[in-house]
Chains A and B, each alone.
Chain A
Amino acid sequence: MQMMRPGQTRALIIGAGIAGIQAALDIANSGYEAVLVDRLPSVGGHMAQLSETFPTLDCSQCILTPRTVEVGHHPHIRLYTYSELTGLQGQAGGYTATIRRRAAYVRWDLCTGCGLCQSRCPARVPAEFEGLLGERRAIYTLSPQAVPNKPVIDREHCRYFSTGRCRVCERLCPVGAIDYEQQDEVFEEPVGAVIVATGYQLLPLAALPEYGGGNVPDVIDGLQFERLLSASGPTAGVVRRPSDGRVPGRVVFIQCAGSRDPERGRPYCSKFCCMYTAKHALLYRHRVHDGQAIVFYIDIRAAGKGYEEFVQRAMDEERVLYLRGKVSKVFRQGDQVMVWGTDTLSGRNVEIAADLVVLAPAAVPDPSQAELARILGLTIGEDGFVEVRDAQLAPVDTLRPGVFVAGAAAGPKDIPETVAQASAAAARILSLFSRWERAAQVQVQADGGS
């Protein structure tokens, strides 16, 4: 007699960015359970860092928050944040996932999310969520809208952990949730199928030595600029440059920083940079009315609905100056950033003294993806992204049955495409669940009839 295996119709989703969130909600709202795992303390991924989204200029937080809140409260979603997948045994329909949750040193079952602990923590640390342009404390949440809204203690920077003295958060916590003795916890979850939604990271600026290699404070990457544009960011949405907090009067944007560079960078096009650069230039012009925005591009790839119109709007309405050519060198000169570029259309080299330079570095797989692929038994392409079973006709299937991939984990994608893939992966899993259930029913009927 064929019976349902425990957890056969539960889905494991790795990565709680917009892809993981979308897939989890699709599955959970169909009545099945989703186990959603993220390495960070809260969900939302890169989308939570963005200011506004192209081409509609929606506030990213505003359109994301209803979904993160739903994920946080959904009866069919089991959320493991601050957690990583460490093992997956079994096969499609009968996997056992091993998940390690890092010690937060805060008892989330007690914590009310009041935030008192964070307000008085004496240790100030550059905040990763703010692209190191803002500060957080050693006990922190990623943002005030965090889901779950429970803090973690960063042991490396915590004064108590490094000196044995402090315990300010413990004294302040009204519910006694601080637990310096907390240990990592390991959980086993039976699941039937898996979605990899680990997204992308930007190529570190250290890999772009001709653009300052990360050593010029006023040369930043696109995600950092998102935080400068964001009302909830470290500058409350006022574009201030990192070195001296001045509002930059001239900003140079450099696309293809490491993309389309088989020789020393990544061979592929990172796909969403043309659009976010146009958005950056446009939003900068909205914030700084007399500011000059100059974009270096090689080709403009704006092949989505409303995308081309958006780029044209940046050019003609916002007077963003597009120069066709690649920049060879960027360096600090006095309190400015010198940009040596070219405009191949006029056949002129240009030297621009900028107040701020924003790079669009290549989108690369998350560094943890190689290890995750090993755990999941997936194939990783030469570019480091997850290989799919058939790029034409099975774009969200991996080579391992029952394991799917969605969003930028399989290659750079913008939000609409990522969400579409997430729903596709969820649909693939739901069809499996439904088939397995039907098969079990048929078997029960057959057994009953004999």
Chain B
Amino acid sequence: MQNMEALPYFPGCTLKQRAAGLDRSARDVFSALGSPLAELPGWNCCGATFPLTVENLLDLTGPARILASARAEGTRLAVACAACYNVLRRTNHLLRTDADKREKVCLFIESEYDGDLEVVHLLELLHREIGYGHVRQALRRPLEGLRVAAYYGCLLLRPAVEVGFDDPEDPVLLDQLLAAAGAAPVSYPHRGECCGGYLAVRSEEAALEASKRVLTAVSAAGADVVVTSCPLCQYNLDRRQGIIARQEAGFRPVPVLYFTQLLGLALGADGEGYRLDEHYVDPRPLLRERGLADV
């Protein structure tokens, strides 16, 4: 599947700011595979979390506006960030299934929208449309022998009915992608356990509690690298390792990469703009050692 029309793409705040390296790598991956991403014009913040109280319509207006404006561009919207994806999918589901709320929200945003946009995560696009076979063919530097811990976190998996991404208890899409890129996914049971999300804003202790469960499992599984599909998971799992290493004598730090960072390198990108130097556990020695990057 070569040279498709550019896909409308929603990078979200995190990928535009703190994690711009992830945005860059996502664009690299899709350009290398012949399906370049075209940033949705005039987008706004999705709100980062889906409102959980039933009358909170105000917090739906942000994501609803994104959905309505993307619908004006086409029938699909590609999303990189798992949080944005979760919020947009859930909002879309609500607007599609609750006519009363849809009417009120549309009144707020002064747009017509009936929920018929398809919100797709980049991982889904790679799986369903580009195909892992095509990814394999396009590899320039296969990830041979790289032991990867695919990490899904919460936002791609739950709630399963609204997000509908993968098996919530036994997800496979990211493992399969990495295997197609030549890597060897390690098996560990914490692939869908929470990293702590936004809890660090209030309590470092709580964020550590959550991240530590995942990281000790990853480390024990013998992974060379953790691969995430959410920028906040990437940050949390990366950031907490210094503290854990100080607390636990046997803990072996493991670099944490966003899946498009690793895939971009495998597809031949030079890693320019990936901001690998900003990671807390420096992934560059590993990447150099495996011949994946010269950075």
Contacts and interface: CB of A to CB of B under 8 A. Distances in A.
The listed residue with most A CB atoms (<10 A of its CB), out of B170, B189, B220, is B189
A434 interface: no
B205 interface: no
A329 B192 CA distance: 12
B169 A209 contact: yes
B189 A209 contact: no
Nearest to A211: B169
B189 A333 contact: yes
A329 to B, nearest CB: 8
Nearest to A212: B189
Contacts of B189: 329, 331-333, 338
Interface in B161-219: 167, 169-170, 189
Contacts of A213: 169-170
A128 interface: no
A210 interface: yes
A433 B169 CA distance: 55
A228 to B, nearest CB: 25
Nearest to B189: A331
Interface in B128-186: 167, 169-170
Contacts of B169: 209-210, 213
Contacts of B167: 209
B206 to A, nearest CB: 15
Interface in A30-59: none
A358 B220 CA distance: 26
A329 B194 CA distance: 14
Nearest to B167: A209
A331 to B, nearest CB: 3
Q: How large is the interface on A (under 10, 10 to 19, 20 to 34, 35 or more residues)?
A: under 10
Contacts of A210: 169
Nearest to A332: B189
Interface residues of B, number: 5
Nearest to B190: A331
Contacts, number: 12
A213 B170 CA distance: 9
Nearest to B168: A209
Contacts of B170: 209, 213
Nearest to B170: A209
A210 B167 CA distance: 11
Contacts of A209: 167, 169-170
A263 to B, nearest CB: 11
A338 B220 CA distance: 14
A331 B169 CA distance: 11
Interface in B51-75: none
Contacts of A338: 189
Interface in A321-347: 329, 331-333, 338
B151 to A, nearest CB: 15
A183 to B, nearest CB: 43
A209 B167 CA distance: 9
B209 to A, nearest CB: 12
Interface in B209-234: 220
Contacts of B220: 333
Nearest to B217: A333
A209 B169 CA distance: 6
Interface string B22-52: 0000000000000000000000000000000
A92 B167 CA distance: 49
Nearest to B187: A332
A213 B172 CA distance: 14
A156 B167 CA distance: 32
B214 to A, nearest CB: 13
Interface in A291-329: 329
A329 B191 CA distance: 13
A117 B169 CA distance: 45
B169 to A, nearest CB: 3
A219 to B, nearest CB: 12
The listed residue with most A CB atoms (<10 A of its CB), out of B167, B169, B170, B220, is B169
Contacts of A329: 189
Nearest to B193: A329
Interface string B227-250: 000000000000000000000000
Contacts of A332: 189
A109 B267 CA distance: 69
A209 B191 CA distance: 13
A311 to B, nearest CB: 31
A252 to B, nearest CB: 16
A187 B220 CA distance: 61
A240 B54 CA distance: 52
A3 B167 CA distance: 63
A391 B134 CA distance: 60
Nearest to A329: B189
A34 to B, nearest CB: 46
A209 to B, nearest CB: 3
A349 to B, nearest CB: 12
A338 B190 CA distance: 12
A340 to B, nearest CB: 10
A438 to B, nearest CB: 60
A210 B168 CA distance: 10
B61 to A, nearest CB: 31
Nearest to A338: B189
B91 to A, nearest CB: 24
B74 to A, nearest CB: 35
A333 B221 CA distance: 9
A338 B189 CA distance: 10
A31 B169 CA distance: 56
Given A209-B170, A329-B189, 4 more contacts: A209-B167, A213-B169, A213-B170, A338-B189
Interface of A: 209-210, 213, 329, 331-333, 338
Interface of B: 167, 169-170, 189, 220
Of all A-B residue pairs in the complex, the 4 with the closest CB atoms, nearest first, are A331-B189, A209-B169, A210-B169, A209-B170
12 contacts: A209-B167, A209-B169, A209-B170, A210-B169, A213-B169, A213-B170, A329-B189, A331-B189, A332-B189, A333-B189, A333-B220, A338-B189
